[in-house]
Structure formats: C-alpha cells, structure tokens
Structure 1
Amino acid sequence: MTTDDIARQQFWDTLRQSTQARIGLGRSGNALPTREVLELSAAHAAARDAVHIPLDTERLAAAIGEIGIGQPAMVTSRASSRGEYLRRPDLGRLPADLSSVPNTPADIGFVLADGLSPTALMHHATALLRELVAELGESYTLAAPVIATQARVALGDHIAARGQYTTLLVIIGERPGLSVADSLGIYLTHRPQPGCSDAERNCISNIHPPDGLGYREAARIAAGLVSGARQLGRSGVELKDTSRGVAIDAGGRGELG
C-alpha cells in the first residue's frame, strides 16, 4: 500500500466516524469489495425483517404495564394483514374497534404504534415511555397507554377522541433504512381529532440510542413541545422546538462558527 493509499484510507476512516451512511467503500476490480456487498445484503434483510416481523404485543404489554400508568389497551387498524397495511395506508389510519379504550380524560395520552418497524417498538418503546412518564408525570395527568397494531400515525387521533386526551403522543416505528432498522419517532398532536393533517403535528425522530437520539433527550424535547402547545393552543408548523436554544447560544456557538 502506497503513502497515498494510506492517506486516502485514513481520510475515509475518519469521515465514517461521523455518519452511518455507506461512504468510501472502496472497490474490488469494477465492483464493491465482497465484505461490503455482504454487509449491504445483511442490512437490507434486517430492514425487511423490521417491517414484516409482527409486534409481540403480549411481551410489550407486560413491560409497559410495569411503568405504572395503567395496563395498556389493545387496538388494531382496519388493515387485516401486514400486506394490506403496506398496500393500503388509508386503512392503517382507521380503527377496527375502539371499545377497549377507556373514556378517561387526561392531559396526555400515549399510543404505541408498530408503524413500519415493529422491531423499533420492541427495542425502545418501554424505555422511552418510562422517560416520558418521568418527565411529564409531575405536571400533567397521564392516560393509560394504548398499543396499536397495523397502525399509521393518524390512527392515534381516533384513539385520542375516544379517550379524550388533550395532547396525544404517538410513539411509532419509523421506516427502516439500510443504516438503521429500529428507529422510533414521536408525533405530538395538541387537541387531536379525526381528520387532523400532518401540518398539525410535531415530530421527534431518529430515536434509537446509542447511535440516535437518546430516550431522556427525546422526553425532554417532548416535554418542551407539550408545554409550548398548551401555551400556544395548538401544535404543528407554528410550534417550534426551542429546547436546544441555550446550548447553541452558549457553548454551541463556537462549533457553529
């Protein structure tokens, strides 16, 4: 290996530490090295599994129940199978039956939805919900959580209307990619009701420690958005996350230039 080859390798090795993207993979003849091809195939398989492996609702419900805000209710959408859920997003937004959701008004309701990555919900939902409860529980009344399967974000609006929640947090498995297959998102809707548009929501995404956003930080951001939504009277495009303002104005200013 020449000096130029070593310098090039060091450059890419350093750059790869700042991203999960597949960069500087090298080549073997006219193709990628075998190792990179195999790793890409494995990542693709993991992403497909994350979409298709069904949510273990019993195990998740048992873990969620130990958090202490009530045993979770179970709801499913009108999509009758995973295949139909993927082909018909509209059915994933509508409930099949809401009779299991108690009508218990609360400041905040939680819906844990499988979304496009049930794997993400299994890996992260319990720890994330525990941090949300710790962050929000002293200031607001919290409804017992609801676990929703074959679910899109808007399914939560129907659940919230049934339970009468002032603010809804939908914790949902995000679309998996070739770098991350188990990322969660939180969608916040203030005064939710069926028919809400995406412009009326706020999203906290990329929650998957240790490489993504951590549970405590996500909960802190969510608490700030809940407070802001209650002051503003609505969520969505007019509600901004200001939780990082102090860090940017102070210590982060030098890094930003």
Structure 2
Amino acid sequence: MSSALDRPLPADPDPWAVLRGATRARVALGRAGDALPTARELEFRAAHAAARDAVHQPLDPGVVRAALDSALGAAQLPGAELVEVHSAAPDRATYLQRPDLGRQLAPGTALPRVGADLAVVIADGLSPRAVHEHAAGLTTALLQRLPGWAVAPLVLAHQARVALGDAVAAALGARAVVVLVGERPGLSSADSLGVYLTWDPRPGRVDSERNCVSNVRPPHGLGYAQAADTVAALLGAARSLGASGVVLKDEGPALPGS
C-alpha cells in the first residue's frame, strides 16, 4: 500500500508561462549547457531568415490588386482604381542603400491632379510581405470609415519610403495623405504594416509633422478595425486642426481588443 510520501510530487508550474502566452517576444528560452537549446536556436534562425526574406521579397501588384478587389467586394464598396508609381530607386539594392531615393518619385512620373480630400498610398517599404497580407484589409476598413471624403485613386508605390507619400499627394492635389507601408521586420514580426498620416502633404515634410499607427498585423498586432478607427479619428481631427504630427494627439484606446 503506497503512502502520500511515495507519490511523485507535481511539477513546479512554469513561472514564465503567463508571460510567454502574452507576447511573441523570446523570453525564458532555457539553456543547454552554455548555449540555447537546439530547438530555440533553430527557431531564432528561422525568424531571422523570414525577416531577411520579407525585406527582399518583391512587391507583386497582382497580389495587391486581387486582395483589394476581394476585400472591397466583400465590404460592398465600389472597386478602386490602382495607380502604380516607382521611387527614384531603380532596384531593391539601391533602395536599401539610398533611403533618400526612396523618398523621391522617379523622374517623369505623371499623376492626375484630382484635388481630393485624401490620398492613400500603399508602399512596399521594408516588408512587401506586410503589404501583400494586410494592405487590402486595412484599406477597406479605412474607406468604410470615411463617408463624405473624396479619395483619390489608390497609389501602389514600389521601392518607397514613407515620405514618398508627400510627393504623391502633392501631385494629386490631396489635402491629406495616408501611407500604408511595410515596416522594418523584427525577429517576431516580419509582416507588420505601419500607417503614416500627414496633413497638407508636400515634399520637405518631416517626421514630426506626421502621425503613426504601427504594428497592424492581426491576430498578433492591431486589427484592421481598430487601426482604421484610429486613423479615421486622426484624419477628422487633422482636418479640424489643419495640422498633423506632434500638435495632434491620439487620445483614443491604444490596446488591441479595447
């Protein structure tokens, strides 16, 4: 007959389990001797490879167009014209080495001057993968929240930095620009989309004159609805104030699911 002393003791609960369940950051990885366990090392290398691939993956206009058509149709919104532009960076290698060229339109670029309230620029940035996966959903959610706004034809920008949106919007004659751009990949987020809003856009604007909503990547980051709510609210406030950037504060909820 066994006694309570003969029974195995329950394993100690993992004190890091709660934290690991709340973040995709690498915490409490353990060790094997003086190194990481093999599984954790392989996970790190796979994440690093995914980040590198996201930076170098070419932007596929066909993927973006198909995703937009599907998302807009599902939301019962009219189809959107998609105009393609290129920055002054002729290829990916130059784009990565010369950030200044990614902020300028390629010589000879012609855009129709439509005089709209808003220009929406979808830019590959440092993660075309993020654009492929999230731009259509976020663009659709944003357009649903902007009744009464005259929106210029959507612009798809190759080899683009955030500031390229200023040149695009100025050429279109738009009062504001929203740039959806693939953010710099991290080791836990190779598909994160950022949103940058600028009122009265024109070449020469600086980052302090913009507002940013980052890490749009459901289900691990901001969802499309919450990000679109925030951007739409910022646009309305920018129109009332006549400015964006440090003078315009986002006082809405900031946590996913709130």
Give the TM-score, by structure 1 length.
0.90
The CA RMSD over aligned residues, in Å, is 1.9
**How much has 1:227 moved relative to structure 2?**
0.8
Contact 1:189–1:235 (8 Å) recurs in 2: yes
**How much has 1:98 moved relative to structure 2?**
6.1
1:140 aligns with 2:144: no
Runs of 4+ in 1 over 6 A off after TM superposition: 2-5
| Segment of structure 1 superposing worse, 23-32 or 56-65 | 56-65
Counterparts in 2 of 1:39-54, with a 5 A limit?
39-54=43-58
- State the distance in 1 between where 2:10 and 2:87 align: 57
What is the aligned counterpart of 1:206 among 215, 230, 239? 215
Contact 1:171–1:185 (8 Å) recurs in 2: yes
Q: Secondary structure at the match of 1:17?
A: helix
Structure 1 unaligned runs (5+)? 253-257
Contact 1:110–1:145 (8 Å) recurs in 2: yes
- State the distance in 2 between where 1:214 and 1:203 align: 15
Contact 1:174–1:185 (8 Å) recurs in 2: yes
1:131 aligns with 2:141: yes
**How much has 1:97 moved relative to structure 2?**
4.3
User: How many residues were matched structurally?
Assistant: 243
**How much has 1:6 moved relative to structure 2?**
2.8
**How much has 1:244 moved relative to structure 2?**
2.2
- 1:212 maps to amino acid: G
1:12 aligns with 2:21: no
Identity %: 49
1:232 aligns with 2:236: no
- State the distance in 1 between where 2:227 and 2:26 align: 26
Structure 2 unaligned runs (5+)? 1-7, 73-77
What is the aligned counterpart of 1:101 among 77, 101, 111? 111
Give the TM-score, by structure 2 length.
0.89
Counterparts in 2 of 1:1-257, with a 5 A limit?
6-7=12-13, 10-65=14-69, 67=72, 68=78, 70-97=80-107, 99-136=109-146, 138-244=147-253
- State the distance in 2 between where 1:95 and 1:206 align: 26
Compare the two structures and name the one with the higher helix fraction.
Answer: 1
- State the distance in 2 between where 1:3 and 1:162 align: 72
